[in-house]
Structure 1
Amino acid sequence: MIDNDGTQTLLTLGIGLVAVVVFMGVCLALAIRAEKLTVVDTAWPLGFVTIAVVSVFVADRGAGGYAWPSGLLLLLTTVWGVRLAVHLHLRNRGKPEDPRYQQMADADGRSFAQVAVRRVFLPQGIAMYLVATPIMVGVNNEGHYTWLAWVGVLVWLVGFVFESVGDWQLKEFKKRPDTDGKIMDQGLWRYTRHPNYFGDACVWTGIWLVAASSLPGLLTVVSPVAMTIFLTKVTGASLNEKGMRESKPGYDDYVRRTSGFIPLPPKTG
Structure 2
Amino acid sequence: MDIWIPIASVFVFNLAAYFIAQVKKDNSIIDILWGICFVIPNLVSLLISGNWNERTILTFTLVTIWALRLAWHIGSRHSGKEDFRYQDMRKRWTAVSTGYYYWAAFIYVFMMQALFSVIVNSSALFVSIWSSPEFFALDVIGAAVWAFGFIFEMVADYQLQKFRDDPSNRGKLIKCGLWRYSRHPNYFGEAVLWWGIFIIAVSVEYGWITVYAPLFITLLIRFVSGVPLLENKYKDRPEFQEYCRETNVFFPWFVSKIPAEREQLSGA
With normalisation by structure 1, the TM-score equals: 0.89
CA gap 1:135/1:251 in 2 versus in 1, 3 angstroms: same
Alignment of 1:19-168 (within 5 A): 19-60=9-50, 63=51, 66-94=52-80, 96-108=81-93, 109-111=96-98, 112-139=101-128, 140-168=130-158
Q: Tell me the CA shift for residue 53 of structure 1.
A: 1.4
Q: Tell me the CA shift for residue 114 of structure 1.
A: 2.1
Amino acid at match of 1:17: I
* Alpha carbons 2:146, 2:192 under 8 Å: kept: yes
Task: State the alpha-carbon separation in 2 of the partners of residues 119 and 241 from structure 1.
Answer: 22
Deviation per residue, 1:6-59 (Å, 9 max, x gap): xx3xx2x21121111111111111111111121111111111111221122223
Q: Tell me the CA shift for residue 267 of structure 1.
A: 2.7
Structure 2 unpaired stretches of 5+: 259-268
Amino acid at match of 1:87: H
Give the counterpart of 2:197 among 204, 207, 213: 207
Q: Tell me the CA shift for residue 93 of structure 1.
A: 3.2
Alignment of 1:255-266 (within 5 A): 255-266=244-255
* Alpha carbons 1:55, 1:135 under 8 Å: kept: no
1:3 corresponds to: none
Q: Tell me the CA shift for residue 243 of structure 1.
A: 1.5
2:220 corresponds to: 230
Task: State the alpha-carbon separation in 1 of the partners of residues 122 and 140 from structure 2.
Answer: 19
Percent of aligned positions that are identical: 32
Amino acid at match of 1:74: F
Task: State the alpha-carbon separation in 1 of the partners of residues 190 and 58 from structure 2.
Answer: 18
Task: State the alpha-carbon separation in 2 of the partners of residues 15 and 212 from structure 1.
Answer: 23
* Alpha carbons 1:190, 1:266 under 8 Å: kept: yes
* Alpha carbons 1:193, 1:260 under 8 Å: kept: yes
Task: State the alpha-carbon separation in 1 of the partners of residues 135 and 45 from structure 2.
Answer: 17
1:170 corresponds to: 160
Task: State the alpha-carbon separation in 2 of the partners of residues 163 and 58 from structure 1.
Answer: 32
Report the secondary structure of 1:24's partner residue.
helix
Give the counterpart of 2:229 among 239, 244, 251: 239
* CA RMSD, Structure 1 to Structure 2 (Å): 1.6
Q: Which moved more, 1:74-83 or 1:113-122?
A: 113-122
* Alpha carbons 2:198, 2:214 under 8 Å: kept: yes
May I ask how many residue pairs the two structures share in their alignment?
253
Task: State the alpha-carbon separation in 2 of the partners of residues 38 and 244 from structure 1.
Answer: 21
* Alpha carbons 2:36, 2:68 under 8 Å: kept: yes
